[in-house]
Structure 1
């Protein structure tokens, strides 16, 4: 006799947590609490009799069992959506736009404000904040995605969105207290770190670019998300590495100050991707065009106001 399937909310919690790598981000995506997600996952693990996640302080990772079950579970929701659409083809379907979490909160959402009323952008969108890479694209639901990497996304249409400069930033109060710190002296101050990052340059890379010997180990808070590290810097917690798109608005409102030193261009860039062949679909083409126009206008504005961080 076939095993009775688990409740749908458990499956949704599992898929969301697997795709975001965090119970907290899954909770935000599903409008639940992190505790509720944790209970749903625990219930599902008990239901199936397998451990699905390895829990750690920075988030969660799928176990071998979780990796085996994710494509089947995610495929269930995708297949269900496809069948429902075929049964009711006249009903419009929203576009799923996925964006790397830091860029989503600091650059994309502020520039979407008011744009939904413009004829060039009037699209029905579901926006998800997910860090995707070429290895885990199949685990995520999206029609268009903004990802950070090197442009190598097999079976996808790929267009460059923009590149970032990397430079140290601190709060206005921190700057007033300590002045414009020279690159050779930065290691003497509290540094805020970005961890578990395979594409964004960290302090070690920045010190090497400046020709400055980095300390063997520098104590300081470490965050799995760039926007979190930058937020602490804005509150006076030390110096963080900023990237142009992530800190521009806070430079504008005075929450952050960029220290004067040669900027380092990030070896990775932001790319727009969609599955091959879909770039010609009218709504997807409009969305890609809006993203590119927004990035071009943004970089032009940065070049006028802050040429030193354009690279």
Structure 2
């Protein structure tokens, strides 16, 4: 006699924990507690008579049995959803596109605005801004996301969008007053800082790249978001570190001036991600393609109009 199938809640907990690599992230994704997820997994392991996860202090890892059962279990949910969609078609749902907060306001929104009236764009989007790390992906709702980092996003389809150059910028008024300040002299002027430089290079990294001794401590305003630091530079309050995608429009419009210095490439890049397997869905595939085309056009324009901030091979994708 065939074994009776386990409750759906157990299967959902298993799939979510396997895809996020964490009981806590699975709990957030399913609006449950981590303890509830743990009990569901334990119940499923007892039901099937196999161990599904190895438990570690930093998360969980599928056993060989878990690896064998995951595609079958995940396929059950996907097959059920596809069958129900055929039997009871729902109204088309918009795609949720999430983007890092700085890039969203300075690069993505202007390009969505420019494409929205183009009939070929034809994408129904809900645009949200969020700064997501690999560990926090399960806590956010998105179909497609643009993230900044090193490209390591487990259980996700990942494509490189573009890379950034890093260089000092200031307002035209500040530039007229002080001139084109040499890298070795920049520390003598008011600097605007990004508070958390774990992903994006800060002044300390920039000074090291230029071969200039940085001051032991440089006072100045500190912001958790690059676009806020750039906003203060626009007001003429000092020099900020700009990244190409975040300051290009302001350079074009004359709101900012790039100081002369060797271009430093950011070690972090922008990536497009979605859940593995979803990249072939027609709407998601079109959105990914639009993002890549927009980035390609942008990088070519930067190289043609502002070669001083591009550098040799700076924007190879």
Is the Cα contact below 8 Å between 2:28 and 2:138 reproduced in 1? Answer: no
> What per-residue deviation string (whole Å, max 9, x for no partner) do you get for residues 224-282 of structure 1?
00000001001101000000000000001111000001010000100000110111100
Counterpart position of 1:272: 272
> What per-residue deviation string (whole Å, max 9, x for no partner) do you get for residues 113-150 of structure 1?
13122233211100000001111111100000000011
C-alpha change, 1:255 and 1:120, in structure 2 (3 Å) is same
How far apart, in 1, do the equivalents of 2:32 and 2:99 lie? Answer: 19
Counterpart position of 2:107: 107
Counterpart position of 2:293: 293
Is the Cα contact below 8 Å between 1:182 and 1:260 reproduced in 2? Answer: yes
C-alpha change, 1:74 and 1:301, in structure 2 (3 Å) is farther
Counterpart position of 1:46: none
The alignment partner of 1:114 has SS state of: helix
Is the Cα contact below 8 Å between 1:190 and 1:239 reproduced in 2? Answer: yes
The alignment partner of 1:113 has SS state of: helix
Structure 1 residue 89: deviation in Å?
A: 3.1
How far apart, in 2, do the equivalents of 1:90 and 1:204 lie? Answer: 53
The alignment partner of 1:117 has SS state of: coil
Is the Cα contact below 8 Å between 2:168 and 2:259 reproduced in 1? Answer: yes
C-alpha change, 1:225 and 1:277, in structure 2 (3 Å) is same
Counterpart position of 1:37: none
> What per-residue deviation string (whole Å, max 9, x for no partner) do you get for residues 79-131 of structure 1?
xxx9xx96963211110000000000000001111312223321110000000
Runs (4 or more) in structure 1 with deviation over 2 Å come to 66-75, 85-90
Counterpart position of 2:20: none
Is the Cα contact below 8 Å between 1:74 and 1:139 reproduced in 2? Answer: no
Counterpart position of 2:73: none
Counterpart position of 2:197: 197
Cα RMSD (Å) of the superposition? 2.1
Q: TM-score, normalised by structure 1?
A: 0.73
C-alpha change, 1:88 and 1:74, in structure 2 (3 Å) is farther
C-alpha change, 1:97 and 1:199, in structure 2 (3 Å) is same
Is the Cα contact below 8 Å between 1:233 and 1:240 reproduced in 2? Answer: yes
**Matched ranges for 1:33-72 at <5 A:** 70-72=28-30
Matched length: 239
Counterpart position of 1:255: 255
Counterpart position of 1:186: 186
Structure 1 residue 195: deviation in Å?
A: 1.0
Structure 1 residue 310: deviation in Å?
A: 1.2
Q: Which runs of 5+ in 1 are unaligned?
A: 1-65, 76-81
Based on CA coordinates, which of the two structures has the bigger radius of gyration?
Answer: 2
**Matched ranges for 1:1-311 at <5 A:** 70-73=28-31, 89-311=89-311
How far apart, in 1, do the equivalents of 2:88 and 2:141 lie? Answer: 20
Is the Cα contact below 8 Å between 1:148 and 1:271 reproduced in 2? Answer: yes
Is the Cα contact below 8 Å between 2:167 and 2:309 reproduced in 1? Answer: yes
